[in-house]
Structure 1
Amino acid sequence: MCAGDDTTCPHYELHYRQFKEALDQERRSFMKSAFAAAGGAAAWGGGVSLVTPGMARAAAAQMPAKRSYHHLPATADTVHWGYFSKKLKPQVEIDSGDFITIETLTHHAADDLERMVKGDPGAESVYLWTKDKKGVNRRGAGPEDASLFGRGAGEGLGVHICTGPVFVRGAEPGDVLEVRIVDVAPRPCANPKFSGKAFGSNAAAWWGFHYKDLITEPKPREVITIYEVDATGTRNWAQAVYNFQWTPQTDPFGVVHKTIDYPGVPVDHATVKENHGILKGVRIPIRPHFGVIGLAPKEADIVDSIPPSYTGGNIDNWRIGKGATMYYPVAVEGALLSAGDPHASQGDSEMCGTAIECSLTGTFQLILHKKADLAGTPLEQLDYPMLETQNEWLVHGFSFANYLTELGPKAQSEIYSKSSVDLALRDAFRKMRHFLMTTKKLTEDEAISLITVGCDFGITQVVDGNWGVHAVIRKDIFAGVTA
């Protein structure tokens, strides 16, 4: 159905007006809540946001007088599959302060095409794959000619369907891009058989942390679990529909995939056994978020979408959802933001390999903070992706803070054999120490003590090549601090 994005629709003008009105209402709600939060800054002493009043004024001075709204659909023409690149042509150019709605598709929709692709023109264009044609040919950062493994163009060395990139006018290396997540909604199933529902896939796959620790036969095995989500917003939990064990799948080009080794391979359900009635009575709380939001790195022309790094990417933190704000260091002109890997829900660690991979649509406000305006502010020297919620600040540590630089020419292959939780924990500690010493002006000894008694560390993920640990500190810890 047209959502204000199909100019051939006979009711396009009405649908577009409804879309703009809904977006404007959401924007007003967001700005109202942000204003209320800012009003509480005095009570917290240290301020509710990393953006100081001076930074806000400087950023506002760079914005056009009128905010614009943009809509970026997910189609075969607007996505790049499995990689980031500073060479990609922008899909849209926006000004700082503008709002943009971005449609994102899960790269696991082919696990159940009937529920996650059928009847959806955008998804169908992306997932198109016949013996003669693929809607999106390159899937990953590997060679186009599949000369490494014979899997397909891109070799699956990078798996996420990323919508974008978005070019932010005026963005330059050294700046910081503030990304406010205004809204997140599931993409409704377009198949009339499943009206009002959305679906997602969880893959317990060969790259999962659990894979070599199975206790029941057959071993090893990969298992897909399909979950149902209420797309109307009435129900805030997901439930399992069925699961099946992966069997060798032959793609339309004739390549056999014994394991889940290439994204978008259509599963022939005549070759698998669907087990229904699983996880009876279990309700999974919905936590819609984006596993991937990131800017283009500068170090290589094509970068695998799987390992996260200093410009963000595949962080896989369930807290990166509605109401949260992310801060990213800009590495290339225009920032080149892309979003993808949408999740209905996930626990810390993403243990078995994926979350509930479910297509989502997000609305964002992008605000540019120029390098010249960052001196003496909490965002000065920010060289990693940082998350802010209404109540917490959170830093993301990785096994290698910038693996593309630290591991040299073979970084994109070596990262998969060199990661550890120990390294990620140390990086998270160092980033939190730096944050407290610079933002809160603590001594190193004060920061270390506070980290130990007031900071929570969690395992973000252990499946993305560059493993992640996050460090969380509550804002109200500083309630007694005076200006």
Structure 2
Amino acid sequence: MCRACNYTIHAAQHHFGWDNSIAPVQRVSPGESVLYHCHDSSAGQLGPQSTVADVAALDFGRINPVSGPVWIEGAEPGDALKITLDSFAPQPAASGRGWGWTANIPGFGLLADQFTEAALISWDFDPATMAPAMWSKEGRVPLKPFTGTIGNALAEPGLHSVVPPRRVGGNLDIRDLSAGTELWLPVEVAGALFSVGDTHAAQGDGEVCGTAIESPMDVVLTFDLVKDARLKMPRFRTPGPVTRHLDAKGYEVTTGVGPDLMAGARDAVAGMVDLLCATRGMPAVEAYMLASTCGDLRISEIVDMPNWVVSFYFPRAVFE
């Protein structure tokens, strides 16, 4: 429980998709803090005891629930909503342990054409220490909780899918939207109508298989308002280094080179899957899912035409 929070948004107070006609569940003034009880991205369809059959049966109409919306007093189109991400606390399972899941969902992910069968990994971790979580018997993934989906309502009327990121935020899946970060989002409707969800225990840059360590979290946010900011896209400020938790042992890196960034990204990730299979004896789909939780997809070069370089960094700390 957040003793300093002004309000609590409960797990039942959520919605699917962005729609500026959804009534706000709370009115919040700039300077106030709110505790959100956020679902995992499956809205509870998957849990610690789930099986691969449950992945295949997922209802995509219930994917990425976001808690809210809240009305920010004084927010008008053209303003920017400033959100300080104060803290993240895992919601323990019945066992008292933190939990999460990573899945290969058919038809979803960067290499969906190569990985067509459902797969599922369940994670168990200490919610108090947030020590690295075990992957099989030989690896540990460092944890860094953050929110994948965070945004304001769009100006356009009607229901808009929560799956793609948008100019007002949404499903950004930026792992550095973690505790201590400050985020600015454009406001397009009166009150902003802000919502948040899709919390993760860890993710690599790119979320290449389409899922990270999907984990329900309690999130504390503080709101401020920047009048007439005329912000066109989200921006954020981190409180310090963003890679140090994975840097200690160096990286294995694969690349993709060519005139198409998407093709280069696919080649870099496929190369890492092949490398992990060859060096660790892992099944390909497990290597793909593991890479999604902790590996980083980066544009290394985009000026030496006609070919660009995309690199995939896998932290050796997971295995050492």
TM-score w.r.t. structure 2 length?
Answer: 0.70
Identity level (%): 28
**1:71 Cα shift?**
1.3
Higher helix content, 1 or 2:
1
Q: Distance in 1 between matches of 2:81 and 2:241?
A: 19
Instruction: Note if contact 2:21-2:157 (Cα within 8 Å) is conserved in structure 1.
Output: no
SS class of match (2:47): helix
Instruction: Note if contact 2:152-2:168 (Cα within 8 Å) is conserved in structure 1.
Output: yes
SS class of match (2:210): coil
1:295 to 138, 145, 152: 152
**1:308 Cα shift?**
0.5
Q: Are residue 205 (structure 1) and residue 105 (structure 2) matched?
A: yes
**1:305 Cα shift?**
0.1
Q: Distance in 1 between matches of 2:100 and 2:6?
A: 29
Q: Work out the number of aligned pairs and report it.
A: 244
What letter corresponds to residue 110 of structure 2 in structure 1?
F
1:234 to 129, 133, 145: 129
- CA displacement 1:329-379 (0-9 Å, x = unmatched): 1010100110110100000111111011100111111001111xx4xxxxx
Q: Distance in 1 between matches of 2:196 and 2:187?
A: 15
Q: Distance in 2 between matches of 1:421 and 1:100?
A: 39
Give the structure with higher Rg (CA). Answer: 1
Q: Residue 354 and residue 89 in structure 1: after superposition, are their counterparts in 2 closer, same or farther (change >3 A)? A: same
Q: Are residue 323 (structure 1) and residue 163 (structure 2) matched?
A: no
Instruction: Note if contact 2:100-2:122 (Cα within 8 Å) is conserved in structure 1.
Output: yes
Q: Is there any run of 5+ residues in structure 1 with no aligned partner, and where?
A: 4-18, 24-67, 116-150, 215-219, 241-278, 375-380, 394-419, 426-455, 460-468, 470-483
2:231 to 363, 382, 388: 382
Q: Distance in 2 between matches of 1:229 and 1:178?
A: 31
Instruction: Note if contact 1:99-1:366 (Cα within 8 Å) is conserved in structure 2.
Output: yes
The residue aligned with 2:45 is 110
**1:230 Cα shift?**
1.2
2:6 to 45, 51, 69: 69
The residue aligned with 2:14 is 79
**1:111 Cα shift?**
2.4
Q: Residue 327 and residue 342 in structure 1: after superposition, are their counterparts in 2 closer, same or farther (change >3 A)? A: same
**1:110 Cα shift?**
2.3
Q: Residue 213 and residue 179 in structure 1: after superposition, are their counterparts in 2 closer, same or farther (change >3 A)? A: same
What letter corresponds to residue 112 of structure 1 in structure 2?
G
Q: Is there any run of 5+ residues in structure 2 with no aligned partner, and where?
A: 51-56, 243-259, 266-295, 300-309, 311-320
What letter corresponds to residue 209 of structure 2 in structure 1?
C
**1:107 Cα shift?**
2.9
**Greater RCO structure (CA 8 Å; 6+ sep):** 2
What letter corresponds to residue 95 of structure 1 in structure 2?
S
What letter corresponds to residue 193 of structure 2 in structure 1?
L
RMSD: 2.8
Q: Distance in 2 between matches of 1:211 and 1:360?
A: 28
Q: Are residue 187 (structure 1) and residue 124 (structure 2) matched?
A: no
- CA displacement 1:151-204 (0-9 Å, x = unmatched): 99xx73572111000110110000000000011111111x2xx12x12111111
Higher strand content, 1 or 2:
2
TM-score w.r.t. structure 1 length?
Answer: 0.47
Instruction: Note if contact 1:204-1:354 (Cα within 8 Å) is conserved in structure 2.
Output: yes
Q: Residue 157 and residue 290 in structure 1: after superposition, are their counterparts in 2 closer, same or farther (change >3 A)? A: same
- CA displacement 1:6-42 (0-9 Å, x = unmatched): xxxxxxxxxxxxx42xx3xxxxxxxxxxxxxxxxxxx
2:73 to 156, 160, 169: 169
